[in-house]
Chain A
């Protein structure tokens, strides 16, 4: 392995990037676009859920319950009707996510042993529906507790007996359950996979398309030197992009960064090696630039989006799919990213995912180093 030859290949590749403003623009614009798009566009928090009430009771009591909903920041009251029909229409049109049906003679029913409130929820968006129904239950439960306390007090009962349990939930690592804190660290992985695989997938395919392959084959460069030289500039670009992402995440979106930068740098380098090597492998096997970048995009971005735990929790997937995710390098990197950002985990605590990522990188890079053949057929 000759250092001089590596530098020569790297210089040539870097010049090509600099002289092609379009690819340079992609390299710098894409991380910014992804960060802002996903940072603002991907929110799973639910507040101001549009609600309508069917108040068949129309009494002081039913209005008190409705008042509880209007004062909650999770609900926005859109309409109060006397019958169910308009509420059904609101839900059909998508104007309201849920309808609360208060039956007639509510107070009487409450006193007489039990009232049942119906909650009609638009289940189309199942996640929002789950969260909205949970909030509505909380509001109604606390209202019921208050009513019971009042009733007991009036009859001279000990009121503490009704609230025997004091549940103190505490949330760690993301205290306000801000969904952007959960999404944004994963975006770093997404940007790395897109950038890394896209840029490197062009390297060899370009030589074929431009007819420079013959020249390349006739030089004394070995395949290992070629790979290192070709990928080095993109590795540098990848690290710059990672820095941009982290800066935007922490500086603009205020995502906490609790871990060590060194761990982040080390693991990002490992992940970059993986995606660059995958892109290079694709580039060696597919001779057209477009075909190569398409295949590389599908091979890296799709698994990073769906199978890495980036948005969808892996432990909720079917067992077979969970097995498949162990073969996705982004899974380890996303775990590491979230742990470094939110939990402040040390490299030691992350030993297992780091080891998996390192092993992955070693295998893919070894494959990529052997992939290029110095022949023209």
Chain B
């Protein structure tokens, strides 16, 4: 038995070695994708282009503008005289934020009336607008506090009332600088491996069927289980290698920390690969041609990617979709990857995900082997 499996293994690796384009497809797209995600995927908000209409032109109004600029969250593109120009600039998308300080701002400030400031946010990108709006509030709050204190002192009355000072000290655990890269790069490992392995497995078997070599193989003394093992083991190894390569780029090039146990990640990867192989096999049993396999893969893998928590929080999805994600092996694997990379948590925290992966892998593999044997008859 082992000899026959070994021979299958040798055959598969020989095929891969001779197929230049397959090797290219195995190596180049993953590297391009991790670089793209590492550099292009960011939700951070820095230096948002901002325009200011300062109709007041006093030291106070300039101090407010300076407070915005110094935060490094906003980048002053222009100071214009009229609010209409601010509106036009936002409308044209030249800037994303417009600030209007009306005339009499400092006068009202000094006389103790509430001084209005208008802030215009381009909501086209709701995420950027939401975060930028939060920064506007924080900066204005700090400015207001400083002004309020100055006012009270200027009023000449000795301050006998208690000053309430409530400071917030946020500490971001696992990602102290809230670097988007630390969030996305570990996730790419999971999604890439899923796509590569499901594609490889499905294509390899459908190709044999399409070319007619599947029947040739079946007349040899090889048994179905041996055939499946011999066919999937090479992909299992390739999957491990791919995880190592992509993780290596993440660690060495993007400097994403790895705080957990490598052994735990390895265990999670092996369990995840079972699901991926099972899925690939299952797809191969329903497809006659490679073209069909390609289309089926897209229809299966694309929802898995979106419903995995890769980039979009599962907690924000509608409840039925949240339940559906529990059936998604990628979702569980991403928890394990981020848990080991960023959080550094151990098996005491990650065991439910490992158990889910094992269960999903077992179901998928069993179903695919059963179907596969049937499809041979």
Which A positions have Cβ atoms within 8 angstroms of B? Answer: 22, 26, 29-30, 33-34, 37-38, 40-48, 50, 91-94, 110-111, 113-131, 133-138, 140-141, 143-144, 147-148, 151-152, 154-155, 157-158, 160-175, 177-179, 181-182, 194, 202, 289-291, 293-294, 297-298, 302, 306-307, 309, 311-313, 315-318, 320-321, 335, 338-339, 342-343, 345, 349
Contact: B166 with A43, CB < 8 Å?
Answer: no
Question: Of B5-13, B134-142, B227-235, B242-250, which stretch is located at the interface?
Answer: B134-142
Report B-chain residues with C-beta under 8 Å of the C-beta of A136: 168, 170
Contact across chains for A26 and B39 when beta carbons are under 8 A apart: no
CB distance from A243 to the nearest CB of B (A): 22
**Cα–Cα distance between A38 and B311 once the two chains are bound (Å):** 12
Nearest residue, chain B, Cβ from A48: B315
| Smallest CB gap from B152: residue in A | A161
Closest B residue by C-beta to A344: B91
Instruction: Tell whether A163 pairs with B114 under 8 Å between CB atoms, given A41-B321, A177-B126, A290-B290.
Output: yes
A163 to B39, CA, bound (A): 42
Measured CA separation A259–B22 after assembly (Å): 46
- Interface size range of chain B in the complex: 35 or more
B167 contacts A114, C-beta separation under 8 Å: yes
Complex interface: chain B residues within 8 A of A289 (CB): 290-291
Would A321 and B125 be within 8 Å (CB), given that A40-B321, A119-B168, A165-B117 are in contact? Answer: no
Instruction: Name B344's closest neighbour in chain A (CB-CB).
Output: A92
Tell me whether B36 and A302 are in contact (CB under 8 A). yes
Q: Decide yes or no: A92 and B33 within 8 Å by CB, A130-B178, A165-B114, A315-B49 being known contacts.
A: no
B129 A177 Cβ-Cβ under 8 A: yes
> Is A43 within 8 A of B134, CB to CB?
no
Shortest A8–chain B CB gap in Å is 25
B133 within 8 A of A: yes
Question: Are A321 and B40 interface neighbours, CB within 8 A?
Answer: yes
Q: Which of B90, B119, B143, B291 has the most CB of A within 10 A?
A: B291
A37: B residues at CB distance < 8 A: 302-303, 306-307
In the complex, the answer to whether B123 meets A177 with C-beta atoms within 8 Å is: yes
Given known contacts A134-B131, A161-B151, A175-B123, A121 and B170 CB-to-CB distance under 8 angstroms: yes
Please tell me if B182 contacts chain A, counting CB pairs below 8 Å. yes
Q: Are A117 and B131 in contact (CB under 8 A)?
A: no
| Residue picked from A144, A152, A167, A345, most chain B C-beta under 10 Å | A167
